[in-house]
Amino acid sequence: MSVPFQQNDLILFTGDSITDCDRDRNDPASLGMGYVAMAASRLWTECPELNLRFRNTGIGGDSACHLLARWNEDCIDLQPDWVSILVGVNNTWRRYDCNDPTSDALFEAECRELFDRIKNETTANIILCSPFLLHIDESVARMREDLDPKIGILKKLAGEFNAAWVDFDAAFVAAQQRHIPSYWAEDGVHPSIAGHALMAETWLHAMGE
């Protein structure tokens, strides 16, 4: 396996419930039950000589502003070598379930502050992951009008910050040609086991595996 990681690197995953995935928040070693644990397990198996370390600080329900509020504790203080960030779908979701929209300008400003702090206060490499929605019904599909610009913002920032780009959205678009959307994520947002496995595979591929 060819990966960019070095001996003893600390790889931090953070974001919302998709990253959190039932991790034990009282146990720093807990990686949850989703793509984070799957990707870490693969790397531990394939690259044992690297002695890679992993942390998961994802919290269900979080939007970009919530990450900012805890950025010292959940990222900067840990001084990781790599930071993998998946955020954005709750910024979209809250527009529709709580009438609490996040403008594209505010979303970009909050994400830019997150990434600026990584660059200025750590030596970490940034890995940006695209949020996604699966077309299970029209109520979810119409949220694309809000999410798609935010994906574009993240992709633009990935270029600006020389970050790796993990295109989960494209992976799920392709996967829906293989099987029905609800197979991958029953509610269109939270992945099934198969969906998490697809995410882990996509993340590892983006890292050069």
pLDDT tens digit sequence for 105-128: 999 999 999 999 999 999 999 999
Q: What is the dihedral of CA 209, 13, 161, 87, to 10 degrees?
A: 110
- CATH number assigned to the domain with residue range 10-206, chosen from the 4 options 3.30.950.10, 3.30.465.10, 3.30.1300.10, 3.40.50.1110: 3.40.50.1110
What is each CA distance from 177 to 9, 173, 192, in whole angstroms?
A: 37, 7, 17
pTM: 0.96
- Catalytic annotation on 190? yes
Question: Contact 169/132 with Cβ under 8 angstroms?
Answer: yes
Q: Any idea where the domains of the chain sit in the sequence? A: 10-206
Residue in 30, 66, 187, 192 annotated catalytic: 187
pLDDT tier at 92, thresholds 50, 70, 90: very high
- Average pLDDT of the chain to the nearest whole number: 97
- The yes-or-no verdict on residue 103 having pLDDT over 90 is yes
- In the set 17, 63, 84, 130, the catalytic residue is 17
Give residue-wise pLDDT tens across range 156-183.
Answer: 999 999 999 999 999 999 999 999 999 9
179 flagged as catalytic: no
pLDDT confidence of residue 97: 86
Phi, psi for 75 (deg, rounded to 5): -145, -65
